[in-house]
Structure 1
Amino acid sequence: MGDILIRNLDDAVIAALKRRADSNGRSLQAELHLELSKSVHAQTKAEFIARSRRLREAADMSKLDGESWTWIREDRDGR
């Protein structure tokens, strides 16, 4: 696993992160690890949702107001 060094972080931000870590019963490192992991997961989930929406918008949904058996019948009759 890699390491990350963050320079010139505001002292108030560091203090707030330490307080949050203490209130959650974690070390500062554990708190930051969790927050970074959640951030990446949230980004991945948001990308998935956005891609799903784009695919849904691009799909031809015009036949969705019928029954599935009619689509099967149309497919069979068309062969």
Structure 2
Amino acid sequence: MGTVHVRRLDDEVVDRLKRRAAENNRSLESEVRHILEQAAEDDVSEKARRFGALVKWLRGRTWSHPQTPSHILIREDRDNRDGPE
């Protein structure tokens, strides 16, 4: 496993990390590791992959159901909100 050393962190940053670690019942090291893992996981390509999977899943669930075009729904909503003109 790799090791990362971070120098010259502001004391306030360290204090906030310690508080966050305590709130999550983790050591400071474990909390920083968790934060770094989350940041690395949130890569743009990973988000795009997850979004694509969600779109595919949604299409599979709604493909056979008739869909009302959005412009019709918007018109109906405006007519109901504003009343007939």
TM bin (shorter chain)? 0.5 to 0.7
* In structure 2, distance between residues paired with 1:4 and 1:42: 19
Aligned residues: 50
Identify the residue that residue 28 of structure 1 maps to in structure 2.
28
Normalized per residue, which structure has more helix? 1
Any stretches of 5+ residues in structure 2 without a counterpart? 53-85
CA RMSD between the two structures: 1.9
* In structure 2, distance between residues paired with 1:47 and 1:12: 33
Q: Which 4+ runs in 1 deviate beyond 4 A?
A: none
Amino acid of the residue matched to residue 16 of structure 2? A
| TM-score, with structure 2 as normaliser | 0.53
* In structure 2, distance between residues paired with 1:39 and 1:47: 13
Q: Equivalences for 1:32-71 in 2 at 5 Å?
A: 32-43=32-43, 46-48=44-46, 49=48
Amino acid of the residue matched to residue 23 of structure 2? S
* In structure 1, distance between residues paired with 2:40 and 2:7: 21
* In structure 2, distance between residues paired with 1:47 and 1:8: 31
* In structure 2, distance between residues paired with 1:47 and 1:11: 34
Secondary structure of the equivalent of 1:32?
helix
Secondary structure of the equivalent of 2:8?
coil
How far the C-alpha of 1:30 sits from its partner, in A, is 0.4
